[in-house]
Structures are given as structure tokens and as C-alpha cells.
């Protein structure tokens, strides 16, 4: 299985400040034939299902605010929230779809400082 490891487990950021979450995969999720990284980011608020934010490591899902961005390739990825809003308080997960079983990171809880 590909193990997805996120860091940190939690972080507290002031409103309007930048939040950065890292995700590392135990093996590359880059599919060389099409140069796509099969890495997605999700946001989960309490009592709700996860919501897709970013796919292919850096493509924003339709309707997702542009303060959310993804970067990275191969085994190391980052989700950045450029200016944290109150509504961004949530747990964020990375997930690989390179192979089965599909696997998720353990989650990173983002709070307001």
C-alpha cells in the first residue's frame, strides 16, 4: 500500500495568514506517461463528507476559492491556504489515486489562532 503521511497533525493560523499542509507519499504517485500526479486534497468540516478541493496535485475543483492551491510532484505535496478565513476551519486530507488500495493521509486539523 502507498502510505500517505501529512504534517503537521494540526495547526493554528491567524485570520488572513497563510496555512501550509504537507503530504508525503511512500512511493511516487506521478504517472509518467501523462505527467499527472494522482494526488487530491479534501476538506472535511464536522458532520459533513469530505469535499474535493484539489486534484492532480494542483488543479482546483470548480467553485473552490483561489486562496486554495496545491503544489508538488512525485512524493512530496503541499496544500496552501493563502489567507485563512473563518470558514476554512476543518480537517484536510490528501489522497492518492495512483493505485489501489486508495489511501488517505491521517488528516491535518486547521484552527484559528
Partner 1 sequence: QVQLQESGPRLVKPSETLSLTCTVSGGSITSSYWSWIRQPPGQGLEWIGYIDYTGSTNYNPSLKSRVTISQDTSKNQLFLKVSSVTAADTAVYYCARAEGHNDPFDYWGQGTLVTVSS
- What would the grid cell of residue 18 be? 497563510
Smallest separation, CB 61 to partner 1 (Å): 7
User: Site residues for partner 1, window 32-91 (CB under 8 A)?
Assistant: 36, 38, 40, 42, 48-52, 55, 61
49 vs 87, beta carbon nearer partner 1: 49
- How would you class 84 by CB atoms within 10 Å of its CB: exposed for 0-12, middle for 13-18, buried for 19 or more? buried
CA pair distance 39, 71, nearest whole angstrom:
10
Contact pick of 11, 71, 74, 98 for partner 1 (by CB under 8 A): 98
Kind plus residue range of the DSSP H or E element containing 41:
strand 39-44
- Interface with partner 1 (CB under 8 A), residue total 25
51 vs 67, beta carbon nearer partner 1: 51
CB 54 within 8 A of CB 62: no
Residues that bind partner 1 (CB under 8 A): 1, 31, 36, 38, 40, 42, 48-52, 55, 61, 93, 95, 97-98, 100-107
Amino acid at each position: 500500500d502507498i502510505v500517505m503521511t501529512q504534517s503537521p497533525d494540526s495547526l493554528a493560523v491567524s485570520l488572513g495568514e497563510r496555512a501550509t499542509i504537507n503530504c508525503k507519499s511512500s512511493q511516487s504517485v506521478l504517472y509518467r506517461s501523462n505527467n499527472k500526479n494522482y494526488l487530491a486534497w479534501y476538506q472535511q468540516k464536522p458532520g459533513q463528507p469530505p469535499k474535493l478541493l484539489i486534484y492532480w496535485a494542483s488543479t482546483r475543483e470548480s467553485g473552490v476559492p483561489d486562496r486554495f492551491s496545491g503544489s508538488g510532484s512525485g512524493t512530496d505535496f503541499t496544500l496552501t491556504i493563502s489567507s485563512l478565513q473563518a470558514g476554512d476551519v476543518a480537517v484536510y486530507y490528501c489522497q492518492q489515486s495512483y493505485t489501489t488500495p486508495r489511501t488517505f493521509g491521517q488528516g491535518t486539523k486547521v484552527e484559528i489562532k
